[in-house]
């Protein structure tokens, strides 16, 4: 793994990087930097070494109908089977709410007990 700091240090050998409106990041995963004063920008997603979980509002619906509330989540919520069984819109909305409310405060990658999800990002469209 290459840390966000290492990426920025390597880029800094060739370019001058300045934070691009750090308050404008919101829930976006990338920290954005102006390259040589702009207008060009580069974004670095340091989800392991610079976690942004506290501001993350990202949720994914996979191609096979599963809700994944974090790319690193080991659990998914199944909407597909409910839809196929004729669930109402309000039932599906409640299932979605439960999936989102189950979002943890952090991904826990730095925890020695962390387990990789069975399906990586490439398998869910991340």
Q: What is the pLDDT of residues 73-94, one digit of tens each?
A: 888 999 999 999 999 999 999 9
* Contact (Cβ atoms closer than 8 angstroms) between residue 108 and residue 116: no
Which pLDDT value is given to residue 4?
Answer: 93
What is the reported pTM? 0.68
Question: Which residue reads 């390597």 in tokens?
Answer: 10
Which positions of the chain have pLDDT values less than 70? 22, 126
CA distance linking residue 123 with residue 126, whole number of Å: 8
Q: Choose among 17, 14, 66, 78: nearest CA to 44.
A: 17
CA distance linking residue 5 with residue 33, whole number of Å: 13
């Amino acid at each position: 793994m290459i840390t966000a700091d290492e990426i920025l240090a390597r880029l800094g050998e060739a370019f001058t990087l300045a934070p691009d409106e750090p308050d404008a990041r919101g829930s976006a995963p990338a920290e954005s930097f102006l390259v040589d004063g702009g207008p060009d920008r580069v974004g670095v997603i340091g989800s392991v070494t610079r976690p942004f979980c506290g501001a993350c509002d990202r949720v994914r619906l996979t191609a096979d109908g599963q809700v994944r509330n974090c790319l690193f989540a080991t659990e998914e919520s199944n909407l597909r089977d409910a839809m196929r069984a004729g669930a109402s819109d309000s039932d599906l909305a409640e299932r979605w709410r439960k999936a989102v409310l189950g979002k943890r405060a952090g991904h826990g990658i730095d925890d020695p007990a962390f387990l990789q999800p069975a399906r990586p990002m490439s398998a869910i469209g991340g």
